[in-house]
Amino acid sequence: MKSSAQLNTIPVRQSDTRTFLGWTLALIVPLLVYFLFHQSNPTAAERSTGIFIGVVSLAVCIWVFDLTPAFVPALLIIIVTILFDVVPKDVALSGFTSDAFFICLAIFIFAAQVASSGLIYRVALLLMRWLPESNLSQSLIVFASGTILTTIIPSPLGRSALLNPLVFDLIDNTPKTKVKKIETTPLIISGLQGTTLLSTIFLTGNPLNLVMLGFFTTQTQYRFQWLNWLQATLIVGVILVAGYLAILLWQARKSNLQPMGKAQIDELLKKLGPVKNSEWGALVGMTVFGVGILTQSYHHIEPVWLAFGIALVLYLYGALTTRDLRSNVDWPTLLFVAAIVSWGPIMSALKLNTLIGKQVTALKLDMLMHNNFLLGIGFLALIIILIRFVFPGGPTFIILMSALIPLANSTGISPWVLGFIALTISEGFILPYQHGAFSLVVEELKTRGLEDTYNMSDILISNALLLALRVVAIYVTILYWKAIAIL
Amino acid sequence: MNKIRFILVTILVVAFAGLVIRHNQTKSRILIIHSYNIDFPWVPQVNGGIQQYLANNPSDVVIRYQYMDLKNHPNCDFYRSAANDARLLIQDWQPQVIIIIDDLGQSLVGVNYLHFKPGTDTTGLYDKFAAIDAKPGGCANDPSKNNKDYFGLGNISLPYTPKIIFGGVNGDVDQYGYYQADNVTGIFEHKNPDAIRQTITDIYRASSVKPTSIQILSDKSGTANSEKDFFENKLTAVNLDVPLTWKPVEYAGTYDEWKQFIKDANQNGSMLLIANYTQIKENATDATSMSTSKLISQTEQTTQYPVLGAATNFITDGGMLTLAVPGYEQGQVTIQMALEVLKGTPVSNIKPVEAKQFVVGMNKSLVIKRGLALPLVYEAFSRESNNLVEK
């Protein structure tokens, strides 16, 4: 599985100047931040806070310039806080004992099983065989497969790596004509949006969803577990899917792509052979997990431990091997999640939330949010969209969360609502470099010599439309959140 | 995988799952719902009492805490959302006993889980509860919010009847319909009127600048609403042994109003008695209440006559002398009652009780500054209960 620890970006080839600039800033900025903070807060008690803010600024420099894998600066923060006695060790390492860490680990093990079983690929082919043979239905199946993967694989890049073979099989098997070039845009949009569009709709659709939960108090974490999370995000999801469908209809009309024939589908199914034990294992595991979540009030087992239990049972049955664990579990993302989840407790221990809260009040941001919530949301969305042209989504979101939690505390607005809005918008993208899944698809199309088969401007337009729709969906959902008393 | 391994592993997994489910189903669950947040010193005091009792009386129970944070966000939308969160937790977790601390939690959450005695007329009851919430939430005049549907109030059908233990209730629980239900008991947080009377007398005698009256000054919070009867009727009915008269209670919403009442008190020769002050806004349009330490320290500096507090946090907020009901006792008694219920004692056999303890807090330097010669027992008691500030 591809690592999403790059916070949904894959490393771009760095120019020497960019690397030099990045490391230079990484050297200067933390020192500057520390001394400036120390000057305005000279007491010994504030020294620890200064060190923490300094090392966070170092991490931000590394993230922005993509100097190392994303988990490295995240771990660096933890190590520095321990070595300089910024907070007690158990606070610094609290992310590693958090529910978010165990959910992530369990889901990754679970996802490793689903990924290695090939179940989703088979289901997609069976659906294509069953549904009418058309360009539209096959694109929809690609999107639906991506959506199913979103519920069980918390890594957009990992999902993309799993779904791309299906997309390219469909492209490779389409009847070619010498007269006209084939038009694969609807399939590419479906694959791309299938793996990314709903990543914040399902709790386990994105590691940053779990990071966000980690920023909250225990009671808010419990409040927004699987089904309650889905209940809160449902309307946004429905609006985004409606937007995707509209784009698909527009693109499918323009496309001359011929659907894969039943005979070709049969051939691919034949190649897969009979349903393997591992596929049955994946199916049973997913079913047990789903039933387990729905019957929680009966058995009182929290979903995190249920997921972990199922993941371990897969090993008991031999459905997973050590090799699967080594190759299919996204360890860098796991380390990243655990390290970032420690931020919340570290910031609380340093009373940094109070400090940021005072700044939020001084800047009158709480007044803006409280007196004109709709305008405040628009302002927040605009800032995120602009920042995302320069900063990767992950760091943008994490830094914003550090400010949004105190803002939520002082205004009484649900921290989940503010976090979800920030995350949903920061996960949107227009250009390939803004999201790893997009750049991965573009790279793969290039490698396969399919550059002439799609219309990049149409893809960019659809991305921009869906990004705008994210903002619209949030505004519409505010009414729903009020109705279900989240706001 | 061969068949034997499959069968053996399946037996192991099914047996293990069965044991885990059984263990979880039979475990006793107690949910503690605080109306306020952990940042309010009263709340850790209550939790301290609970934990101390459990440490001395080990029990096989699982405890979960829910903080509604209503003091920091006195508005109806927040009340509604916090109540909804608490109800979702109850629905998901299904605790056998729910301990609800402080008044707002009773009217926002507790009332939904009442098991009424046969023949109880519940008509209009939930709208009455909504009106209790709407007042401190600031939406009493908004008919779209001042109703039971808005706050999600109404009897909730659960596959079991949770028992409710209340604590920190300042007024009477009759307003929450608790006397009409058979699944509720708890402990009141009524202030001790005789202790307040004696302290006022002591302050008067110790003071060289004699006041002529007592002015009770309060915010407009839910707690103030619950204590309305106590301060307006019960306390003022107490005869003082010194020549002081009671002035009608004044309620302030903003800092300007508060300052005006202080000015009036100074002009009228009134000493102040302050119990509820956490929900005063510096400006009327502010989203949150002003800093309590700023409010009380400014009050202390601008009042001509001594100020007596009747709140837990009054001294750390900058006050001179306070008499307060300790949260510790509320925690101890509520958890003790909860464990009794779990052992099988019918709730109807456990009668609601009054708080027996009160604590004194004192800022010695402010007492000296005002030139008060208070009986030494105040300092000794404050020191003993760790509520003495010396500088």
pLDDT tens figures, A197-209 = 999 999 989 989 9
A486 touches chain B (CB under 8 A): yes
The reply to whether residue B21 touches residue A301, judged by beta carbons under 8 angstroms, is: yes
Q: How many whole angstroms separate alpha carbon A68 and alpha carbon A77?
A: 14
Residues 264-293 of B with CB under 8 A from A: 285-288
CB B122 within 8 A of CB B58: no
Please tell me if residue A484 touches chain B, with a CB cutoff of 8 Å. Answer: yes
- The answer to whether A318 contacts B83, with C-beta atoms less than 8 Å apart, is no
Residue linked to tokens 């007269």: A179
For chains A and B, count residue pairs whose Cβ atoms are closer than 8 Å: 77
Cα atoms in the Cβ-side hemisphere of radius 13 Å centred on A121 = 27
Q: Does A44 touch chain B (CB under 8 A)?
A: no
H helices of A295-435, in order, are: 296-299, 303-316, 322-328, 331-341, 343-349, 352-362, 365-371, 373-387, 393-411, 415-426
**Cβ-nearest to A301 among B6, B20, B72:** B20
Q: What pLDDT, on the 0 to 100 scale, is given for residue A2?
A: 46
Cβ-Cβ contacts under 8 Å, A224 against chain B: none
The separation between the first and the last C-alpha atoms of chain A, rounded to the nearest angstrom, is: 38
B343 and chain A in contact, CB less than 8 A: no
Q: Is the model's pLDDT at B323 over the cut of 90?
A: yes
B201-220 pLDDT tens trace: 999 999 988 999 999 999 99
Mean of per-residue pLDDT scores for chain B? 92
Alpha-carbon distance of B309 to B323, in angstroms, equals 6
Per-residue confidence at A407, pLDDT binned at 50, 70, 90? confident
Q: How confident is the model at residue B301 (pLDDT cuts 50, 70, 90)?
A: very high
Question: B389 near B315, Cβ under 8 Å?
Answer: yes
Q: Do A316 and B9 touch (CB under 8 A)?
A: yes
Kindly determine whether residue A487 and residue B81, on different chains, have CB atoms separated by under 8 Å.
yes
Stretch among A178-182, A193-197, A435-439, B259-263 having the lowest mean pLDDT: A178-182
As for the ipTM of the complex, it is 0.83
CB contacts of A316 in chain B (<8 Å) are 9, 12-13
- What's the average model confidence in pLDDT over B245-252? 93
Within an 8 Å CB–CB cutoff, is residue A38 touching chain B? no
Choice among A243-247, A250-254, B18-22 with the minimum mean pLDDT? A250-254
Residue A4 reports pLDDT greater than 80: no
The per-residue pLDDT of chain A, averaged, comes to 87
Residue B391 makes CB contacts below 8 A (sequence gap 6+) with B364, B365
Write down the pLDDT at residue A5.
46
Residue A481 is which amino acid? Answer: W
Residues facing residue B188 across a β-bridge: B169
